[in-house]
Chains A and B, each alone.
Chain A
Amino acid sequence: MDLRKALAVLSKSSPNAVTTAGEIIDPELRAIKNYLYVETEIEVVFKQELNDIQENDVIFLCGSSGDGKSEILTRYSEKHEKLVDFHLDATHSFDPSHTAIDTLNDRFTKQKTSRRPLVIGINIGMLANFEREGADEHCTVKAAIKQFLNTQESSDRFTFLDFEAFPKFKIEGTEVSSAFFNALLDRVVRDDQGNKFRDCFNQALALNQDKKLIANVLLLRDRSVQKVVVELLLNARIRQDQFVTARMLLDFIYCILTGSGYLFDNLFKGGDNELLKAMVAFDPSVIRNRDIDRFILNRTLDIEDTEYQLFIDEIEAKYSVIGTLQASSAIRLFYLLKQTGIEHNYHKKFKSSFHEKGELLYREIWALHRNYAGDKEDKIKLRRFYDDVVFAAIELYANRNAPYLSKDEFYLSSHGSCDLASEIELSVNHEAIEGAACKDIHAFYLHFSVNDKKLEPLPVNVNLLTLMLDVVEGYRPNKHDKNSVVLLDELVSHITSLVSNTEVLYLYRDGQRVKVKAHTDGDIRVSGL
């Protein structure tokens, strides 16, 4: 089979993209599909729950569309359908006069008499709709759903398995990995006999067909390239709040391999895939700094650069990337190879240009919060992060209208030519960090105290963290100009209201400082007039 045709099974527009019960498809394609199947953590847990299922129980398998709910359910429905009822697609009804809610109502009513265990594949949104609009006779179901939506917890005979509770990415240190994505990718590009795509690939290689596709497969075989792609996917998840589902990933692999350009261009030029659309925001070719500008200028003027030529030659030999690359494409290539070492490491010159400080710090601090167990070294790292980034950003942002204030003074308000400030002491709550679980990949929780008063844990996502870094570096945002400013603003005004309530205030007017202290007997002592 033609490689391009074989790969088409990955595409979301392929007729085989969605699995539904009882469907018969081409045996050859079915084989490829089976080959591509990766068992996930949620499936293991689901299998366990299914084996333990009791009379009258309900398992909700919740996820976004394309997560693989139906795929899992069809795999098990045949084996278990004698004892268990399966309701595959709760978002649909089978009768035009019925809504999806009606269909679910009927399901639960049926179960009331049959008492057979029930497994339902459902989208969280639909679950919430049923909680609101479902029939009153199913109030126990609705109550269980409500509890799950509020606390993410299952209750007695209702089990909820949510795809989002099984993160597709793992962060350790500053490293990201995604076992699921890597397994998928491996099955497509791996160079071994079990790979159903390899024969097609070798055939294309021998016939010298579809050169760009060949080069793309070769590039994607590189583990370090795979790592960069995984990092990009994580960024799409945490920076753009893009949900990453199995179907999307398969289609993504299809698009970057078979797109009209080379892998590095396909990655960043957008397309009819949510992940690709999110990637556009991370296109390295729009970065502007001295190194990159000079490189672009030199390439445009075609100034001879032997080092670059050697690099390009090696790339051609190694990955079959041929022809002259546009300057922007070359930069994307440098980015993709940023973790790859070859003989002529011309691209490494630009590594610092791609240094993503916010993301790296986020990953490091996220992992620190997750794994913190009182270790001395970690404690120092955490304290340094809180001091240098969080507290510094809070104070700088709060005091932006009164930059003359010293570090332990906190700006409260302005009244004509007078500014009011109070003392502030921010401290990390190490114990709270140790005790807190941090499941969600797109935020970690800050635990700190203001003047010995503990604050509620505060979620920080990568965008807020990046903003904090920018503030520390001198950026002074206004309320409307950037993402997440409102979050920082909210935090600061919360702290302001906490610290207003202190005994000591400082009054500033024309550079003069007056200290005002409230005594317990009601007197107000003034000094510095």
Chain B
Amino acid sequence: MSILKATLTPGNNVLNSYFPARTGNNEGDFDWDIAKAIVVRNLYRKQLSTKFTKGLPKDPENKESSAINAFRTICKADFKERLDEAGLWEYLEEMYFSGEALYSVTPEALLFKLAPLTGNSPQHRLADMFSSLMQGLYIESPIQQETNFLEQQVVESLRSEEVLSLFERGKKTLSKGINEKSFLPFLTKHFRSDLKFLASHPKYLIDQLQNLLKLYGYLYTAQLALNIKGLDCEPTAKPLYFIMENETASRERTDLVRNGHQTVARLLVNIFPYLSMSEGLQDVSKEDNEHRLPLWQLAQKLTDDDSNKLREYAEAFALNRNESLTFLFPYDKNNTDPRYWLNVLLELAVQQFDKGMKRSAAQIKFIKATEDELCSTFVKARGQVGKVLVMNQDYIALITNIAIGIKDKLRFHELLTEFNSRGIYFDKQSQQALIRFYERVGNVERMSDSGDAVYVRKIL
């Protein structure tokens, strides 16, 4: 059966999959707290129970705080049963319920952030990117945290059925996009194992989840840009050179420019046209999207029978998007290769956003949102060299820990290979700086003077 939608007619460019940015973005669409909360929801398979949310006021503005207030009442009752002097509650209330305190108790507390969220909330889009990268990952039983008995009681109250319930797949509250097949399987693999590693250290997860998401947010964006035109095979990790914050970039360090954000930035223009074209060609049920394929897989599944349909669609599409007085269609109509016509369509999809076309403003908005929300953490301007990718010490510590993962230590060489498999590269000079950083921290062991015999330990 053909992979294509039954009838292909040119319409608006629609994007609901594989990427969070859109041609129109509002402030607050990229909410990292919501993204974190949804990752935790998927990971623990827990959500605020309907019994719990039913009692909350409808007003979305204060929904989060009223959810926490409702939980506070439950928690208070639980403590009252155990305390011989009720007066301690006043202390506990200050300790765990003032300000953002609750969120540092356990990752599950983030679920309160989801109280105001509805199925249509635009905040889902950022979270969907990570849900998609998780591909259904969850932990069987939550790790017991090393914590004191007071905090333990708060966690237990939270985990009670009164507050949290099992979260099942395929529910209405789910966003539409998350069942798509992975676009970047190599990154999915790493994200799953890195997140799983973090989840086994709950306190570290609370600390670093946002950093992990920002890191993968960038890696996903950059690797998507670098891989999206490759239709012949599964995407692979392309080199992206980073430097440490305290290093200076210079023109001699060509990799920083050649294989850095400047290349990514040039390719960002393809993301929206390619993804929306790919989406428009596919027919997926709205409920769970389980059959949505990444473009490279779609290309592989095309058969000769699809050629005609694609050619007709290409012609219709070109005519539909034609803005000049004369209509040109400079393609070989006798070509029977479906891949040829797919490429034509993709080319047309990109052309509709060219400078001077009426849609170009939309593309600019899309790219600006991508740069601002997903790239700016790592992209820094460094003098004459221009924009380069920079990691601060917190991120260096994070990638070191996730690269070493469940092992105790790795040889420096192996560590770099682990980085590379995530698309993170360091040139020779940065490697020296890394070694110096580890030496300063004190987590290296040398077995000889050879650079190949340096071991790096985790820094949790």
Which residues of A approach B to under 8 Å, CB–CB?
62-66, 123-126, 128-129, 132, 149, 163-164, 241, 243, 245, 412, 415-418, 420, 422, 461, 463-464, 480, 483-484, 486-487, 490, 497-498, 500-503, 505, 507, 509, 514, 516, 518, 522-527, 529
Contact A124 B450 (CB under 8 A): yes
Instruction: For the complex formed, measure the closest distance between the CB of A219 and the CB atoms of chain B, giving whole angstroms.
Output: 29
Instruction: For the complex formed, measure the closest distance between the CB of A424 and the CB atoms of chain B, giving whole angstroms.
Output: 13
Instruction: For the complex formed, measure the closest distance between the CB of B148 and the CB atoms of chain A, giving whole angstroms.
Output: 4
Contact A524 B82 (CB under 8 A): yes
CA distance A286 to B26 in the complex (A): 59
Which residues from chain B contact A490 at a C-beta distance below 8 Å?
459-460
Q: Within the complex, which residue of A149, A245, A483 is in contact with B442, where a contact is CB–CB below 8 Å?
A: A483
Contact B94 A418 (CB under 8 A): yes
CA distance A527 to B148 in the complex (A): 18
Contact A420 B148 (CB under 8 A): yes
Q: Within the complex, which residue of A65, A415, A514 is in contact with B94, where a contact is CB–CB below 8 Å?
A: A415
CA distance A128 to B450 in the complex (A): 11
Contact A486 B452 (CB under 8 A): no
Which residues from chain A contact B444 at a C-beta distance below 8 Å?
241
Known: A415-B94, A415-B95. A526 touches B83 (CB 8 A): yes
Determine if B87 is an interface residue (Cβ-Cβ < 8 Å).
Answer: yes
Listed by A's residue number, 20 A-B pairs whose Cβ atoms lie within 8 Å are A65-B449, A124-B453, A128-B453, A163-B448, A164-B447, A243-B446, A415-B98, A416-B95, A417-B94, A418-B91, A418-B94, A483-B442, A501-B146, A501-B147, A502-B148, A503-B149, A514-B88, A522-B82, A526-B85, A529-B87
Contact B442 A463 (CB under 8 A): yes
Which residues from chain A contact B6 at a C-beta distance below 8 Å?
none
Which residues from chain A contact B88 at a C-beta distance below 8 Å?
507, 514, 516, 524, 526, 529
Which residues from chain B contact A483 at a C-beta distance below 8 Å?
440, 442
Determine if B150 is an interface residue (Cβ-Cβ < 8 Å).
Answer: yes
Which residues of B approach A to under 8 Å, CB–CB?
79, 82-85, 87-88, 91, 94-96, 98-99, 101, 146-150, 393, 411, 413-414, 439-444, 446-453, 459-460
Contact B442 A124 (CB under 8 A): no
Which residues from chain A contact B414 at a C-beta distance below 8 Å?
132
Q: Within the complex, which residue of B96, B439, B440, B450 is in contact with A125, where a contact is CB–CB below 8 Å?
A: B450
* B446: nearest chain-A partner, CB-CB: A241
CA distance A126 to B449 in the complex (A): 11
Contact B82 A501 (CB under 8 A): no
Which residues from chain A contact B459 at a C-beta distance below 8 Å?
486, 490
Which residues from chain B contact A412 at a C-beta distance below 8 Å?
148
Instruction: For the complex formed, measure the closest distance between the CB of A135 and the CB atoms of chain B, giving whole angstroms.
Output: 18
Instruction: For the complex formed, measure the closest distance between the CB of B162 and the CB atoms of chain A, giving whole angstroms.
Output: 18
Contact B96 A524 (CB under 8 A): no
Give 4 A-B pairs besides A123-B453, A132-B413, A524-B83 with Cβ atoms closer than 8 angstroms.
A416-B98, A418-B91, A525-B84, A526-B83
* Residue of A422, A518, A524 with highest tally of chain B CB at under 10 A: A524
* A464: nearest chain-B partner, CB-CB: B442
Q: Within the complex, which residue of B84, B411, B443 is in contact with A486, where a contact is CB–CB below 8 Å?
A: B443
Contact A124 B146 (CB under 8 A): no
* A63: nearest chain-B partner, CB-CB: B448
Instruction: For the complex formed, measure the closest distance between the CB of A449 and the CB atoms of chain B, giving whole angstroms.
Output: 17
Q: 10 tightest CB-CB pairs across the interface, nearest first? A: A125-B452, A125-B450, A415-B95, A64-B449, A497-B146, A125-B453, A124-B448, A526-B85, A64-B448, A124-B453
CA distance A163 to B453 in the complex (A): 14
Which residues from chain A contact B451 at a C-beta distance below 8 Å?
125
Q: Within the complex, which residue of A128, A416, A417, A507 is in contact with B452, where a contact is CB–CB below 8 Å?
A: A128
Contact A505 B148 (CB under 8 A): yes
Which residues from chain B contact A245 at a C-beta distance below 8 Å?
449
Which residues from chain B contact A498 at a C-beta distance below 8 Å?
146
CA distance A507 to B460 in the complex (A): 27
Instruction: For the complex formed, measure the closest distance between the CB of B82 and the CB atoms of chain A, giving whole angstroms.
Output: 5
